[in-house]
Structure 1
Amino acid sequence: MAATTSLTIDDFERLPSEQVENCELVDGELVPMSSCTLKHNSIRDRFIMRVGPYVFERHLGTIVAEQEYDFGGNVHGPDISFFGSAKLPLADPDKRVQRFVPDLAIEIVSANDTVTALWRKKERYRACGTSEVWIVLPESREVSIYAEGGDRILRGTAELSTDLIAGFKISVDELFQGL
């Protein structure tokens, strides 16, 4: 039986797109990710359409969907991520995997996600320097926020906001409106 070789981020980037599409690199192995549903995509796009212009007009940084980053030798592409203007010089527009971590990572829970996998991902994000991680739970219509100032769960009319994007607010209800 042949020994398997752990992949590096450079190996990951050299693989054909069709081989790594919907995959992350975790501990040297390709891990398939579940496909996104209309509900998942609607939540992601609604948030980006609301916050994107706010970030752009104020030159606060970049907000992007499914950008892959180097989290301690692992490759993850949060559903939504934000990095402030201080990190713009680190961004390489020609690289698939950015060699820094975002300031804010948002994951929208999909049907095939496990609590253990989400918890590990959240812990990895934070350990590698991501300031805040938001986990959006469509079925219970709530958002769990993990940050240095304390963890919290928001629902209903509670407003999502972060000092990373000063002044921006959106209610949890608005995020899930019509779904």
Structure 2
Amino acid sequence: MAEMMVVKPKMTEEEFIKLPDDGRKYELVDGEAKEVPAGVRHDAIVMRIGYLMYPFAEKVGFLCASSAGFRMVTGNIRSPDVSLVLKGRLPEGQLPEGFMDGAPDLAIEVISPNEDWAELGRKIGEYFMSGAKQVWLVDPQAKTVTIYKSLTDVKVLHAEEEVTGGDLLPELRCKVADLISLP
């Protein structure tokens, strides 16, 4: 006798946005709510990055926290730890109330110790397919920031090296250690 395969119905965006807040971070991936690794130290680093970037970001766009959802061309809803959306690409310079179509101009992911590397690689690809201009991977354990300007233009910066915002945030300059060091 052949086994029956049960196909779970895909979660819609409407169902996803109505999920109760249980203190965890989720993304909508392939029709399922997938938990994204995070924790208190992780979030403290995310806040530090936002704090250091904000004075430069507010001049050109909007910084968003990890609860902002971006609709990828794949249909997945991704929520980078920190995102920059440039004002110039927004209709009338205004952010949408709900999810935003496409990737942010800059997506920053802070790597957690239990990160799923295959999923992270897939996410980077989706960001670029959906219009991101840069993706940063911030690794507090390795004390590095990996800057992707594309899937093939990649640079790894170490603790004492300087991170710049490039074309997106030309005035931003700080050491990698400043982004990841907690007092």
Deviation, structure 1 residue 100: 2.9
Q: Which residue does the alignment assign to 1:22?
A: 25
Name the one with the larger helix percent.
1
Gap regions ≥5 residues in structure 2: none
Gap regions ≥5 residues in structure 1: none
Q: Which residue does the alignment assign to 1:9?
A: 13
- CA-based RMSD: 2.1
Q: Which residue does the alignment assign to 2:180?
A: 176
Deviation, structure 1 residue 159: 1.3
Q: Which residue does the alignment assign to 1:139?
A: 141
Q: Which residue does the alignment assign to 1:92?
A: 96
Q: Which residue does the alignment assign to 2:163?
A: 160
Q: Which residue does the alignment assign to 2:64?
A: 64
Distance 1:139 1:68 in 2: 26
Contact kept, 8 Å, 1:71 with 1:128, in 2: the verdict is yes
SS of 1:119's partner is helix
Is residue 122 of structure 2 the alignment partner of residue 120 of structure 1? yes
Contact kept, 8 Å, 2:57 with 2:84, in 1: the verdict is no
Deviation, structure 1 residue 108: 0.3
TM score, norm. by length of structure 2: 0.85
Q: Which has the larger radius of gyration?
A: 2
Q: Which residue does the alignment assign to 1:80?
A: 82
Contact kept, 8 Å, 1:20 with 1:30, in 2: the verdict is no
Distance 2:79 2:31 in 1: 16
SS of 2:77's partner is strand
TM score, norm. by length of structure 1: 0.86
Q: Percent identity?
A: 28
Distance 1:152 1:47 in 2: 19
SS of 2:160's partner is coil
Contact kept, 8 Å, 1:61 with 1:84, in 2: the verdict is yes
Distance 2:76 2:13 in 1: 7
Moved over 6 A (4+): none
